[in-house]
A and B are shown apart, each in its own frame.
Chain A
């Protein structure tokens, strides 16, 4: 586990008296795509919210060699973690371009405009809609915008919360293909939590399975895809 970008150990988190996560351990290496699979209510969203400082947690969360537990979300963005929350998390009253600018809020360099042009190249539909309010776009376009917005921070780790939620299958497929490309080109590590195991495992290097707050299985994407029990429970074939 030496050299892991993100190292989570003994993670426990919940809402008030309700404990959602128990004793969760996992890691993400630099440049790696890791998926956490699980059904509704398994604690996937809670895991990401605990990492990015949106809810309190116990245990250890170490990012790039430093403990980040208890830091605010905006401080973590500056440190290199960008979180795309469930339900897109675009800022609907701002235009597409303004959303991208907000994504670069933590940056002080002069390359923001160049990065915007770059993501407009990768996601041409965003470029066509640069001056439209984000809220006027379709679900798939908003999800692309949310991801591009997160990449504007030039993160070393991208957290994605169920990017396929509410999207048509074809759109989801395109989105995951683009994620794989972005990962290969920028070397940004990706931690994605998903219910759609097929698509997520297709682009992931490794995966974990979360069941009512506890990790019950882990392995390479191939191992998970060929594991009989996991296939039955999460892949449906």
Chain B
């Protein structure tokens, strides 16, 4: 039992990181109907900025905030300078924009080693190395802190989307761009802010994930888990992304430990199976809205 709990906690800790990245994917999907394949690499890039700030002597939490601010600006600039012009010329066809995000993925992934080198950077462990005993299992401060951060994220997201004028406008744009523009909402600015917010959440995910050592491949695998999380929860539901992330984290850790042939080598397999099953049984995800097309 205590062993089971041990892996459950571990899974929740990893799941909170996937959830954070999945929230970033969902914010952009809701606003634009696009999957941003560069989300993970943008997060990795921001994590190097966190590392630089920390390495320069800033306390770690402050360094994470610096990285998130950098991410916000980076996301907004990418939307303004690359995504918006391509979207405009694509005339409603999503493929060119998706290709551009894949291009961004490759560009950022090869740019990072040129700037910061290929050696793994030593990165601080968020909330330190200690652990506490809970129901006979030990749970690290890192896992507890990561889960607390996730809880905080949910509250902040809810407040932004449900309680502010900006959040209302972002939800309006997500639902109907044209009607929002006619109601007086500056749609372009909302999309910029959406990309900025998403990249800031990505930076946070990177800051929580990089304790294993920071290289340019940091977010490759988490991005796949985040896609699984968003598929499971529903691509248009931030709450679904959080639940999906936790479920994916727990399922991955438990199956790696309890199903013999999976182990550490085939850890990705359950995530892919999860995507497959969800797409077959409930394509809109657990919390997603079914698209009703009226003709």
**Chain A residues within CB distance 8 Å of chain B:** 52, 54, 72-74, 77-78, 82-85, 89-94, 98-99, 101-103, 105-106, 149-150, 153
Contacts and interface: CB of A to CB of B under 8 A. Distances in A.
Given A94-B168, A102-B172, A74 B186 contact: yes
B181 interface: yes
A89 B168 contact: no
Interface in B46-104: none
Given A82-B184, A89-B176, 15 more contacts: A52-B182, A54-B181, A72-B181, A72-B186, A74-B181, A74-B184, A74-B187, A77-B183, A78-B184, A85-B179, A91-B172, A91-B175, A93-B171, A102-B185, A153-B184
B175 A105 contact: no
B184 A101 contact: no
B180 A102 contact: yes
Nearest to B179: A89
Interface of B: 165, 168-169, 171-172, 174-176, 178-187, 289
Chain B interface helix/strand/loop/mixed: helix
A3 B183 CA distance: 26
A54 B172 CA distance: 18
A105 B171 contact: no
Contacts of B168: 94, 98, 101-102
Given A98-B168, A102-B168, A105-B169, A93 B175 contact: yes
A91 B183 CA distance: 10
A78 B185 CA distance: 10
A90 to B, nearest CB: 7
Could you say which of A54, A90, A94 has the most chain B C-beta atoms within 10 Å of its C-beta? A94
A99 B182 CA distance: 12
Contacts of A83: 182
- Central interface residue in B165, B180, B183, B186, by most chain A CB within 10 Å: B183
B290 to A, nearest CB: 13
13 contacts: A74-B181, A74-B187, A84-B182, A89-B178, A91-B183, A93-B171, A93-B174, A94-B171, A94-B175, A102-B168, A103-B183, A105-B169, A150-B182
Contact of B182 (A73, A93, A98): A73
Contacts of A90: 179
Contacts of A91: 172, 175-176, 179-180, 183
A42 B181 CA distance: 25
A92 B185 contact: no
Given A101-B168, A102-B169, A74 B175 contact: no
A82 B186 CA distance: 14
A24 B169 CA distance: 35
Contacts of A85: 178-179, 182
Contact of A153 (B172, B181, B183): B183
Contacts of B181: 54, 72-74
A102 B186 contact: no
Contacts of B178: 54, 85, 89
A93 B289 CA distance: 10
B176 A105 contact: no
Contacts of A98: 168, 171-172
